[in-house]
Amino acid sequence: MIKIENLVKTFGAKRAVDGLSFNVERGEVVGFLGPNGSGKSTTMRMVTGYYTPTSGRVTVGGHDVVEAPLEAKRLIGYLPENAAAYSDMTVRGFLEFAAEMRGLSGEAKKKAVARAVDRCFLDSVLHQSVDTLSKGYRHRTCLAQALIHEPEVLILDEPTDGLDPNQKHEIRNLIREIGKTKAVIFSTHILEEVDAACSRAIIIDRGRIVAQGTPDELGRPLDEVFRKITLPDTVKR
Amino acid sequence: MKHVWVIAKRELSSYFTSPVAYVFLVIFLLLAGFFTFTAGAFFERGEASLGAFFSWHPWLYLVLVPAVGMRLWAEERRSGTIELLLTMPIAPWQAILGKFLASWLFLAVALVLTFPVVITVNVLGSPDNGMIVAGYIGSFLLAGAYLALSCLTSALTRNQVVAFILSVVACLFLILAGFTPVTDLLSRWASANFVDAVAAFSVITHFDGFQKGVIDSRDLVFFLSVMAFSLFATSVVLRNR
């Protein structure tokens, strides 16, 4: 579903993503790991069409993200970093807006909103405005937005960041469930999540893949493997 | 077009769910009233026209329109929602147009709420209502031109204060380009053609016709091209974020 070939993104002199290539198929949940600033978010932003790659190619469901952005974006559900949402809207209003932007209306829109609300446990805050939500609810609202059109591809940037253990558990189960039929990439720096939700993990450091495979192939304990192959950001480059 | 409307609807409702809309409308109407009746000497003029009302609009909008436009993109950038918006299956121009139209519509609402001055002048005398309609059209276009510039400055930064100041300066330039002290200053070291070219950018000269009841196609083209250019520049800025 997702094909990434030789992807490069530079910001001035800095190469944030430096020649990444990998594929994600339907039915896979790929954990995207790496220290802060290793290029995870930048890669995801290129997959979703928010950034234009400096060079290289991303195709989603066969559509090139740069050349056929609308076709590619239709297939994608995206949870950006920090779960951005329009803070002056109610949860319901926000989800209805997302549904309308995805071309849903009338009965289909109602059903889509109800399903997303149900899946992300948002019933109790439906009429609350987004800026009054706790972090967990805010994350789930933004996740509901990403799921609203039943996308074939899900891109989740740190979906469990800042959640309490119960909420993390719920989100992981949800991701694993969705991953049975869709292609999912999610980024994290919590290593236990890889075991809990992923079928495969890709570890990147300074814009390059340094290891990939199933959690078992990578070796255990995971955090030791992680520390061995990536450099802490206190190291001078 | 459907997506443009969805975005416009969201934008417009966000004005009215926050205090922005109400504060703006009250201040706009108070100031418009003050300028017309007190500073513009509406009654002392002894003529049945809205000249005292419209002639202040370029200055009134100078502060108020950037206040409406400053948040358009700066707020999206600050809160990160721009990432959601631009990864939806829409073309960037649809988002730009939708947001612009929503704010323009909001300014139209403010303008419509000034209807009591039209009633007043009709009760007191028999004005040329065609001229008043032309004045309103001109004022609406003027607001649109300022707003499109604010949209552009708002796309340049995530800081609303910076967006506001840049936009006021840009609009001030559009006023002052045709202002006599400025043209005099310019003519000291520039050729007459250059001075004329600069003066042609002034909203004052182009707004004048509308106030006199004349809808000149050149004035229409001027305002529409300021809007088209600014919105196009906005799309370039957003593409190169």
pLDDT beyond 60 at B101: yes
Confidence band (pLDDT; 50, 70, 90) for A170? confident
> Which residue in A79, A102, A76, A78 sits closest to A2, CA to CA?
A76
Q: What is the tens place of the pLDDT at every residue in A36-62?
A: 888 899 999 999 999 999 999 999 999
Structure tokens at B103: 């704010």
What single-letter DSSP state applies at residue A158? S
Q: How confident is the model at residue B49 (pLDDT cuts 50, 70, 90)?
A: confident
Please report, for residues A50, B36, B40, B97, the alpha-carbon distance to residue B43 in angstroms, rounded to integers and kept in the order given. Answer: 57, 9, 9, 41
Q: Could you write out the DSSP letters of every residue in B116-176?
A: HHHHHHHHHS---HHHHHHHHHHHHHHHHHHHHHHHHHHHH-S-HHHHHHHHHHHHHHHHH
Shortest Cα distance, chain A CAs vs residue B81, angstroms: 5
3-state secondary structure B53-69: HHCCHHHHHHHHHHHHH
Cα–Cα dist B212/B11, whole Å:
34
Beta bridge partners of A184: A29, A154
Min mean pLDDT across A95-99, A138-142, A168-172, B186-190 is at B186-190
Helix/strand/coil (H, E, C) string of A162-192?
CCCHHHHHHHHHHHHHHCCCCEEEEEECCCH
pLDDT at B225: 95
Nearest to B79 among A84, A98, A101 (CB): A84
B18 vs A contacts (CB less than 8 Å): 88
**How much is the mean pLDDT over chain B?**
90
Please list every residue in chain A whose beta carbon sits closer than 8 Å to the beta carbon of residue B88.
73, 98, 101-102
Test B89 with A73 for CB contact under 8 angstroms: yes
Look up the ipTM and state it.
0.89
CA nearest B19 in A: which residue?
Answer: A88
Q: Using CA coordinates, name the residue in chain B closest to A95.
A: B10
Which of A205-209, A233-237, B140-144 ranks highest by mean pLDDT?
B140-144
Q: Which of B96, B98, B82, B88 is nearest to A69 (CA)?
A: B88
Q: What is the mean pLDDT of residues A18-44?
A: 90
Question: From A155, which residue of chain B is nearest by alpha-carbon distance?
Answer: B87
| Res. A237: pLDDT tops 70 | no
More confident residue, A168 or B61: B61
Q: In the predicted model, what is the mean pLDDT of residues A91-117? A: 94
pLDDT in tens, B115-129: 999 998 899 888 888
